[in-house]
């Protein structure tokens, strides 16, 4: 008899975005002429930068010719991309990251989901609330938590409530934890951690021999110069942090797929009897066993993001999204809503009107304005009373969505 991994039965309902799609599909079925505008899932809308398209075209041509054809690539990623990442994302900011510390993948979702495999099941986990559901759900699946309590939080996990009072920035808990997921700029709240915030976390991790899993998928959206783009800008962080990045939002790769994580050579965790083990080797072992590398076409395209034209073009696209964010914040504030985020992140975290729940306001916007949002409570109980709006729409759609907000 085949038996299941019963940890899956602990998971609450479905993954958030399929549930949103279900509600939108049900509404559309009854209202087939309605034109929906999505400010829901954080998916990009602008086409790939021309420099990226050209690199993909060249890669396809190479694969179509027997003299330049390539089969399996290195599981950790092609050297040309790993070196471009180390040079452009890190050396340019004075951070020393070797190409052999970079692991290319098909995106940050998979990496942030998979990384927990190299840690033992009894690690105590800390996550923000609200949180990107992937961090917590994958740890539930792995048996690193107890069942969900009545408030939706999983037993055994340390939740760090992110509220208006603390600027939506989690502080190190009083209790000792082993693994901490941090996301800055944050999905879903749009808050960005400053240097002092990150310094507190690095100190905490060093004191507790904890590992920080730092998701920097939205670093390209930072507009304020004082906000760090990488946790490695903080001294001592190489010993305690793994960083995740993605080309999805930076360069419109949500459909192309390419991302990476950095596992520094000197970063260690411990065996049950306290012997240190380098995580770079462990992750490499896992990666080479379970992954055959991102496609050559995606990696060639990702490398083009670092070319002078690629940088100029992708920066231009990001500026468009951030102009949407500024317009949305302004419009919503004028309508009397309270908003957060949208300055260093493509997400706006908006308070629902008094007395309305996240799902209640989501449904109202869907039915009255045909605007799709994401209910804040889908990211955790502390997200109740908020909705998340993304700035990834086309400018004209964003404008229309704001007009529709005014009419509800
Ligand atoms: C989101 O809307 O939160 C994103 O699409 C999540 C992701 O990047 O997987």
Atom 6 in ligand 1: which residue has the minimum CA distance? Answer: 42
Q: Is 41 in the pocket of ligand 1 (CB under 6 A)?
A: yes
Q: Tell me the mean pLDDT in the region 158-171.
A: 97
Residues 6+ apart with CB under 8 A from 174: none
User: What's the pLDDT at 65?
Assistant: 98
Can you name the residues that pair with 212 across neighbouring β-strands? 180, 241
Atom 5 in ligand 1: which residue has the minimum CA distance? Answer: 42
Q: Is 42 in the pocket of ligand 1 (CB under 6 A)?
A: yes
What distances in angstroms separate CA 124 from CA 119, 145, 287, one per listed residue?
10, 9, 24
| Whether the predicted model's global pTM rises above the 0.95 cut | yes
Query: In percent, how much of the chain has pLDDT > 70?
Result: 99
User: What's the pLDDT at 344?
Assistant: 98
Expressed in angstroms and rounded, the spacing between residue 17 Cα and the centre of ligand 1 is 9
Expressed in angstroms and rounded, the spacing between residue 42 Cα and the centre of ligand 1 is 5
Residue 88 contacts residue 306 (beta carbons within 8 Å) = yes
**How many other C-beta atoms are found inside a 10 Å radius of the C-beta of residue 33?**
5
Expressed in angstroms and rounded, the spacing between residue 41 Cα and the centre of ligand 1 is 6
Q: For residue 279, is pLDDT > 80? A: yes
Closest atom of ligand 1 to 40 CA is 2
Cα-based torsion angle of the residue sequence 393, 395, 400, 401 in order, rounded to the nearest 10 degrees: 30
User: What's the pLDDT at 17?
Assistant: 83
Q: Give CA–CA dist 326/331, Å, rounded.
A: 9
- Please name each of the domains of the chain with its CATH number: 14-47+309-406 (3.90.1150.10), 53-307 (3.40.640.10)
User: What's the pLDDT at 407?
Assistant: 87
Q: For residue 13, is pLDDT > 80? A: no
User: What's the pLDDT at 18?
Assistant: 84
Query: In percent, how much of the chain has pLDDT > 90?
Result: 97
User: What's the pLDDT at 234?
Assistant: 98
Q: What mean pLDDT, rounded, does the chain reach?
A: 97
Atom 9 in ligand 1: which residue has the minimum CA distance? Answer: 109
- Of the residues 19, 110, 113, 132, which should be mutated to test ligand 1's pocket, given the most ligand atoms within 8 Å of the CB? 132
């Amino acid at each position: 008899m085949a038996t299941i991994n019963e940890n899956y039965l602990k998971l609450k309902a479905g993954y958030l975005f399929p549930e949103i799609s279900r509600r939108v599909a049900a509404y559309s079925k009854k209202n087939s002429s309605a034109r929906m505008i999505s400010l829901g899932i954080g998916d990009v809308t602008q086409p790939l930068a021309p420099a990226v398209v050209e690199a993909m075209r060249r890669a396809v041509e190479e694969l179509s010719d027997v003299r330049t054809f390539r089969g399996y690539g290195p599981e950790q990623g092609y050297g040309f991309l790993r070196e471009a990442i180390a040079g452009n994302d890190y050396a340019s900011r004075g951070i020393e990251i070797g190409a052999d510390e970079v692991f290319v993948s098909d995106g940050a979702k998979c990496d942030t989901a998979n990384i927990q495999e190299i840690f033992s099941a009894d690690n105590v986990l800390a996550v923000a609330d609200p949180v990107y559901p992937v961090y917590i759900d994958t740890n539930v699946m792995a048996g690193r938590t107890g069942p969900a309590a009545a408030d939706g939080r999983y037993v055994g996990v340390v939740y760090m409530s992110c509220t208006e009072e603390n600027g939506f920035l989690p502080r190190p808990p009083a209790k000792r934890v082993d693994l901490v997921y941090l996301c800055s700029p944050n999905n879903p709240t749009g808050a960005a951690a400053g240097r002092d915030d990150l310094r507190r976390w690095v100190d905490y991790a060093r004191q507790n021999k904890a590992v920080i899993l730092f998701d920097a998928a939205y670093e390209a959206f930072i507009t304020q110069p004082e906000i760090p783009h990488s946790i490695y800008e903080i001294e001592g962080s190489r010993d305690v942090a793994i960083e995740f990045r993605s080309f999805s939002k930076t360069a419109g790769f949500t459909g192309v797929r390419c991302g990476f994580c950095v596992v520094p050579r000197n970063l260690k965790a411990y065996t049950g009897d306290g012997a240190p083990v380098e995580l770079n080797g462990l992750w490499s072992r896992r990666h080479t066993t379970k992954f055959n590398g991102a496609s050559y076409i995606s990696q060639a395209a990702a490398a083009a993001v670092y070319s002078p034209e690629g940088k100029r073009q992708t920066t231009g696209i990001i500026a468009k999204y951030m102009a949407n964010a500024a317009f949305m914040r302004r419009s919503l504030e004028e309508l009397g809503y309270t908003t957060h985020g949208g300055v260093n992140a493509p997400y706006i975290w908006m308070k629902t009107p008094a007395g309305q729940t996240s799902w209640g306001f989501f449904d109202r916007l869907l039915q009255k304005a045909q605007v799709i949002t994401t209910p804040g409570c889908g990211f955790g109980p502390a997200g109740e009373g908020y909705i998340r709006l993304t700035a990834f729409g086309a400018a004209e759609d964003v404008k229309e969505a704001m007009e529709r907000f005014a009419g509800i």
